Amino acid sequence: MSSAARKRLVTALLLAPAAVWLFLFLVLPFAAIVVFSLGERAPAGGYAPALTLAQYANLPARATAFWNTLVLAPAGALACLLIAYPVAYYLALKVLPQRRLLLVALIVIPFWTSLLIRTYAWMYILGARGIPAFLELVGLPEMRFINTPGAVLLGIVYGYLPLMILPIYISLERLDRRLLEASADLGATPFSTFFSVTLRLSLPGMMTGFSLVLILLLGEYLIPTLLGGGKVFFIGNALVDLFLQSRNWPFGSAIAVALVAITVVLLLAANRLTARLSGARQVDLL
Amino acid sequence: MASETLDIEFRGVSKRYGDVTAVHPTDFAVPKGAFIALLGPSGCGKTTCLRMIGGFEQPTTGQVLIGGADMAEVPPYRRPVNMVFQHYALFPHFDVSANVAYGLRQVRPRLTSSEIARRTADALAMVQLAGFGKRKVHELSGGQQQRVALARALVNRPSVLLLDEPLAALDKKLRTDMQIELQNLQRELGITFVLVTHDQEEALSMSDVVCVMNGGRIVQLGAPDEIYDRPADRFVAAFVGKTNFLDGTVVENGGNAARIRLANGMEIGARLTGGGAPGAAVSVSLRPEALRLGAATGETGLGGIIRNRIFLGSTAEYAIEVPGLGTLLATADHDAARSDLLRPGDEVAISFNPGAPLAFPVADNKTTQRETSHVEVLS
């Protein structure tokens, strides 16, 4: 066997497990979903073979779920970004190196508890016997937090903030400090240095964090269920409803395909934007 | 010297990090338009001095003056100096033009964009990179990046240019070219250059004044030939250029005409720096090029056996084993290096001019070594 052929064989063997896995659990199911989405609901629920775009034409029936997802997911990701950046900046550039590890650990530790349990906790904090009860006690008028878009947004920021902090922290931590000195040396004020150098060079980290959080939020199901209480529902909630309750698989599939399409378009746009802003060097998204 | 003729002045400047002293209280002044090199081993405090001029470090005590003005409260971005950083620190997200124009864009009131474009092009032409403006920084070779860094630092017409090991990353040929170019640039612009380097050849070849530092102190300040020919102590003699050190004791301290007895019992005349009573241990420095090699005559002079020949093209170096003294290094010029008389295994006689040997007290050396190791943790 020639050395080139052996190299190809080794590469194939290394990639085989992942390729098989992806084919069985990503490509095949997605193909099935696409096929389902072109079908019709069987009278007793489930899928009946057909070739129609009727399910896609029906998408506006679930406009609220799309609207909620497409407003709250980017808003949540943006809120995470705005809150995470100063934290990451502080961790990477201001904290004494010997304390940095401890603080990074503190950010990661909440992950040791299930998001379900932590979101349940928020249900009680925001629920009638939580903050509203306390506010009433001090004489403020009755307020409602739970089951509002605000509660969902809060749950989103709470749950996903660490995922935003870490990539930004890494990009800032890798930032060559001499570039900041060079900028100051050339007459740039700290303010100007931040915008021309620091922010620009941490863009890949920001984009990684933003994309990561956005992808997860577009498919979010748990937080709207618990903190939105059926009033603020996402595409994820619509899918559960269609597949498990009304058993309208073709319509659910059409929504799923639309969700994937939206995600891909958003990611490509984000990738293009980062590449443009950070100097056309190839940026790895995840 | 009056302050207005000085570009940089250190008045009792020191720098401590915790318990570690990087720079002991130091005074020195750089006249306008000089090319000065801060030379020393890593951790000697030279970079700290440069960074205090740039404003990236604050002195623990003392004052740094630039053009006669105290810089204590002046941040780096308001100082009339610019720096060429080690490894250049070019902005990776900008092209060459944007890197060079960066300093011009910070000027307030704002310059017109045509003014910025013109001065950027001028700066690039000055470093022979006209037409490279649209290139990405990472597409350039090391030498080209070096030039971009130079153009970027000079574009704002600083009164002082700071250079932190600017040639360390270049290969030898390119380094020699850049040395000449830097020297020409400094003469044309007439501004003060402060160069930090650990490479003694670089310091000697480019600058008008060399400031040798060790252990956070200035050991010697002088013209390059003065530093080489008349080192202030054993450290400078060892650090600047190559030399042989021979152990000896003082027989008679006549200053410029002291008598030293070497370890093999031979007595020679030497210039004794730093004092030493008869009987005191000294170290005698003999530069390899001061040694002349000849056919062994059998006389009771200095002689030995050639062990190695290192051919260097224009010269050759010989390692000669001398009984009682160890191995001495001698340099032979072009003609001698090609003669068949000097071959490994041959016996040779070694002679030198009476003025060549320089003797230094040995204690001197021990203190400098201790200080060096003390400061080394900083580098």
- Return d(Cα B206, Cα A203) in angstroms, integer: 42
Residues of B whose CB is below 8 A from A176: 89
Q: How confident is the model at residue B298 (pLDDT cuts 50, 70, 90)?
A: low
**Residues A89 and A251 sit within 8 Å (Cβ to Cβ):** no
B299 domain residue, yes or no? yes
DSSP SS3 for A48: strand
CATH number of the CATH domain containing B26: 3.40.50.300
Whether residues B11 and B36 share a domain: the answer is yes
- Tokens coding B347: 């016996």
B85 domain residue, yes or no? yes
Cβ-defined contact of B106 to A188 (cutoff 8 Å): yes
Return the residue matching tokens 């600083």: B158
Q: Which DSSP category does A58 fall into?
A: T
pLDDT at B277 over 60: yes
pLDDT tens readout for residues B231-273: 999 999 999 989 999 999 999 887 788 899 998 888 888 999 8
Q: Could you give the count of Cα atoms lying within 13 Å of A95 in the half-sphere of its Cβ?
A: 18
Chain A contact present for B107, CB below 8 A: yes
Mean of pLDDT over chain B: 88
CATH number of the CATH domain containing B341: 2.40.50.100
**Residues B271 and B258 sit within 8 Å (Cβ to Cβ):** yes
Whether residues B188 and B130 share a domain: the answer is yes
- Return d(Cα A223, Cα A220) in angstroms, integer: 7
Which one, of B244, B236, B195, B175, lies nearest residue B372 by Cα?
B236
- Return d(Cα A178, Cα A201) in angstroms, integer: 13
Which residues 125-144 of chain A have a CB within 8 Å of chain B? none
Whether residues B107 and B254 share a domain: the answer is no
B161 domain residue, yes or no? yes
- Tokens coding B322: 């001398």
Q: Which of B187, B215, B234 is the C-terminal boundary of a domain?
A: B234
Chain A residue nearest residue B149, CA to CA: A182
- Return d(Cα A80, Cα A77) in angstroms, integer: 5
Whether residues B98 and B153 share a domain: the answer is yes
pLDDT tens readout for residues B46-62: 999 999 999 999 999 99
ipTM (interface pTM) = 0.84
Of B76, B82, B89, nearest to A179 by CB-CB distance is B89
Whether residues B254 and B228 share a domain: the answer is no
DSSP SS3 for A47: strand
Chain B contact present for A276, CB below 8 A: no
pLDDT tens readout for residues B320-362: 999 888 899 999 887 777 777 788 888 888 988 888 899 999 8
Low-confidence ranges of chain A (pLDDT < 50): 280, 282-286
| Domains along chain A with CATH numbers | 62-277 (1.10.3720.10)
Of B75, B78, B93, nearest to A201 by CB-CB distance is B93
Tell me the residue type at B194. V
Chain B contact present for A201, CB below 8 A: yes
Whether residues B253 and B230 share a domain: the answer is no
In terms of residue numbers, what domain contains B279? 242-364
pLDDT score, position B301: 75
Choose the mutation target among B93, B111, B159 for the interface with A, i.e. most A CBs under 10 Å. B93
Strand-strand pairing, B347-351 and B258-262: unpaired
DSSP SS3 for A41: strand
pLDDT tens readout for residues B204-223: 999 999 999 999 999 999 99
- Read off the pLDDT of each residue in B71-89 and give the average, rounded to a whole number: 94
Chain B contact present for A61, CB below 8 A: no
Which one, of B56, B51, B153, lies nearest residue B99 by Cα?
B153
- Return d(Cα B159, Cα A62) in angstroms, integer: 69
B145 domain residue, yes or no? yes
Cβ-based contacts under 8 A for chains A and B = 69
DSSP A154-192: HHHHHHHHHHHHHHHHHHHHSS-HHHHHHHHHTT--HHH
**Residues B220 and B231 sit within 8 Å (Cβ to Cβ):** yes
- Tokens coding B200: 């003694």
Q: Could you give the count of Cα atoms lying within 13 Å of A257 in the half-sphere of its Cβ?
A: 21
pLDDT score, position B172: 87
Strand-strand pairing, B209-214 and B35-39: parallel
Contacts of B211 (CB under 8 A, 6+ apart): B28, B36, B37, B38, B39, B218, B220, B221
- Return d(Cα B225, Cα B206) in angstroms, integer: 12
Contacts of A282 (CB under 8 A, 6+ apart): A275
Whether residues B184 and B281 share a domain: the answer is no
Chain B contact present for A279, CB below 8 A: yes
- Which helix (H) or strand (E) element contains residue A120? helix A115-126
Choose the mutation target among B77, B81, B97, B157 for the interface with A, i.e. most A CBs under 10 Å. B77
Task: Return phi, psi of residue B114, to 5°.
Answer: -70, -35
- Tokens coding B211: 């400031």
pLDDT tens readout for residues B225-241: 999 999 999 999 999 98
Whether residues B270 and B171 share a domain: the answer is no
Number of domains chain B contains: 2
Strand partners, B38: B196, B211
Whether residues B160 and B196 share a domain: the answer is yes
Which residues 142-161 of chain B have a CB within 8 Å of chain A? 152-153, 156
Chain A contact present for B345, CB below 8 A: no
Whether residues B208 and B175 share a domain: the answer is yes
Whether residues B353 and B278 share a domain: the answer is yes
Q: How far apart are the first and last CA of chain A?
A: 36
pLDDT at B379 over 50: no
**Residues B357 and B271 sit within 8 Å (Cβ to Cβ):** yes
**Residue B349 burial by CB count (10 A; 0-12/13-18/19+): exposed, middle or buried?**
middle
Q: How far apart are the first and last CA of chain B?
A: 33
B181 domain residue, yes or no? yes
B371 domain residue, yes or no? no
B369 domain residue, yes or no? no
Q: Which of B201, B216, B234 is the C-terminal boundary of a domain?
A: B234
- Return d(Cα A278, Cα A200) in angstroms, integer: 6
Q: Which of B213, B234, B255 is the C-terminal boundary of a domain?
A: B234
Whether residues B183 and B252 share a domain: the answer is no
Closest CA–CA distance from residue A183 to any residue of chain B (Å): 8
* Three-state secondary structure string covering chain B: CCHHHEEEEEEEEEEEECCEEEEEEEEEEEECCCEEEEECCCCCCHHHHHHHHHCCCCCCEEEEEECCEECCCCCHHHCCEEEEECCECCCCCCEHHHHHHHHHHCCCCCCCHHHHHHHHHHHHHHCCCCCCCCCEHHHCCHHHHHHHHHHHHHCCCCCEEEEECCCCCCCHHHHHHHHHHHHHHHHHHCCEEEEEECCHHHHHHHCCEEEEEECCEEEEEECHHHHHHCCCCHHHHHHCCCCEEEEEEEEECCHHHEEEEECCCCEEEEEECCCCCCCCEEEEEECHHHCEEEECCCCCCEEEEEEEEEECCCCEEEEEEECCCEEEEEEECHHHHHCCCCCCCCEEEEECCCCCCEEEEHHHHHHHHHHHHHHHHHC
Task: Give the number of other CB atoms < 10 A from CB of residue B65.
Answer: 19
- Read off the pLDDT of each residue in B300-310 and give the average, rounded to a whole number: 85
**Residues B121 and B41 sit within 8 Å (Cβ to Cβ):** no
pLDDT score, position A1: 67
CA-angle at A118, arms to A116 and A122, nearest 5°: 110
Cβ-defined contact of B93 to A200 (cutoff 8 Å): yes
Q: Could you give the count of Cα atoms lying within 13 Å of B39 in the half-sphere of its Cβ?
A: 32
Which one, of A249, A214, A217, lies nearest residue A235 by Cα?
A217
Rg, chain A, Cα only = 23
B43 domain residue, yes or no? yes
- Tokens coding A269: 């746009």
